[in-house]
Amino acid sequence: MKKILLMLLLLVVGPSLALAEPANTLGPKERCPVCGMFVAKYPNWVTQARLTDGTILHFDGMKDLLAYSFQPTRYGGKTGNIREMWAKDYYTLAWLDARSAYFVVGSDVYGPMGLELIPFVSEKAAQAFAKDHHGKQVLPFAAITENLVESLRTGQQMRH
């Protein structure tokens, strides 16, 4: 009986456990679906979205990943199809669930496309970075708005 329950648990929960980390699928020709930049050139800034159909999209920074998430149809996607979002902690470069991260806005550190939302695993790390790099705000993921993202993208778009 225990074996049957364990097998059922693995069949039901197993597939979701396999999605608990970002995919290692970035190739040298991968382009950001928002700006068209070659993403592999900037490995420290790469972010990733896993869509509900399993497709993996890579972005050159959190700003473009969020631009896509707010208006996916503008960039060839479908509304409501992002299952996971991944970013790299600025200090450790370890992948983290972007939805649980803290972001510094308005610092003196720029990403590949200029102004960027700098991700951190903790609010404490984000606050320390903001202090050292003149950050204007530290925000949890839920506080980031489409207007903020678009204001950071002004003048930075390679393609539409």
Residue 124 burial class via C-beta count within 10 angstroms: exposed 0-12, middle 13-18, buried 19 and up: exposed
In which region does residue 106 sit, left (phi positive, over 0), alpha (psi from -120 to 50) or beta (all else)?
A: left
Residue in the block written with tokens 């996916």: 72
pLDDT for res 19: 46
The domain spans of the chain are 29-153
- Residue 46 near residue 88, CB atoms below 8 Å: yes
- pTM assigned to the model: 0.83
Per-residue pLDDT reduced to its tens digit, 16-72 = 444 468 888 899 999 999 999 999 999 999 999 999 999 999 999 999 999 999 999
